Structure 1
Amino acid sequence: MKIALLATVAAATLIAAPAFAQDAVGSAGISYVNSDIEGFEADGAVIDGSVAGSVFGDWTVTLDASLKYSDADNFMGDTTTAAAAHVSRVFNGVRVGGFAAFQSNEVYDISSFGAEAQKTFDRATLTGSLAYSDFLGAKAWNVGADAAFYPMPALRLNAAANYETIKDGIFGDTDIDSWTYAVGAEYRVAATPYSVFGRYENKSFDDLDIDVDTFKIGVRYNFGGSLQDQDRAGANIGRATFAPGNILSYAN
């Protein structure tokens, strides 16, 4: 499955490359992350990027990737890599598409596939996704939603929610459910391509009685338009909602 997923991402990259050279929209960022897991704190950093461009007329390909480092001392290692390819098209004002994603650390790999939809308004963007993930013999379903509001094109405020359930595999016959809630803000500095952003997430594992609080602050380089233009072009569709199969991602 890993080979097939990597082939999908590679094929999408090759198809989209000529179009990206003409109308690429996206960003690249670096951030500091602090997570608190029931009193145990971990610090880390994330480098991420996304780019979207039109292919075959009305179709859009969005590629995103990230590299995460954490100083948490555990058996999963200190780095996590992730990549995804999205294909979408706007139908009657709603962007609809599908994606394939892959996440890996030193112990396990997560392959995810799903569908997503995004609706843009004059000063707001609504995004939703449904995904299936497979890892360590377990099967996970993930549904997420994000609502973004733009007081101005250079300022993005958002709130998000996510539900995920893992069945079988690593926890035996026990199902593990989690809820995640988040709020964030991003501001693009006037007359520059740079923006600053912050985000707070709370993830609750009801069956395990564990809560994870995560704070993130960072800076981002943007190209191809304003923050709101990125939404309209589909460049943010991959990072608007939560990564599928992410129940174990807080451990490293």
Structure 2
Amino acid sequence: MFVDYHTHHERCGHAQGSMEAMIKAAIELGMNQIGLSDHSPFFCDENDHPNPGMTMATSDFPNYVQEMVELREKYKDRIDVRLGVESDYLPGLMEQYAAIYAQYPLDYIIGSVHYFRGYHVFASERWRQENVDVDGTYVDYIRLIQDAARCGKFDILGHIDAVKGLNVPCSIPLDALWDETAQIIADAGIAVEINTSGLRKKCGSWFPSADIVQRLHRLGVPFTFGSDAHGPDQLLHDWSGVTGFLKEIGVKEIATFKQRERIMLPL
């Protein structure tokens, strides 16, 4: 079983290659399923395309879904293509987003915290601000992950400790907060991706870290795999490392999704 549920494509403005190129690469790798999950538009913005370097235009979303549908049909005898989107978690706006997503035949929605405290989670400018509150930034991010889990609009939580991505260390212990967060995620019944893009960032580790994965596993939280590929060459990045670790700690199944339903398959 080889699956990858977090992939990006040229539509978002900061990834390389088409969705079809990603599918062809997945077939070459012998993958069973590939999830297409480009960044959702800023549906809440009055401008159609306020951030071309980060997301697709609102007006392009129907085209995105239609292209996924056509590619799923074209390659149905060679690979199982699952239709997804990576949604921002934006407090107060998720009912609006959910109503839009409900109009389309999506198999799954990843909920990720990208924007908070005025910056993108991976913006280096955040950490260069005078008197930056590093510890408070970490805590705020984790609290938003809790809220994203509770909102009930997502099937998968994305890169849940991405705030560590640029390797700016937090000086306070976070164990209790992560224990609390793991319980909230378990209570919400949502899956968590093990996102390997952190290996390609300064932090050099998965999102979430192995110790957080273990916390989640003890509470029965299901996992899926996401390379967060921004080009076909990043598909399945560290799949063997992730699945080997999951098996080592006793995880026997991986979460897949179809028509917004979770389907657990043997690892």
Higher helix proportion: 2
Larger strand proportion of the pair = 1
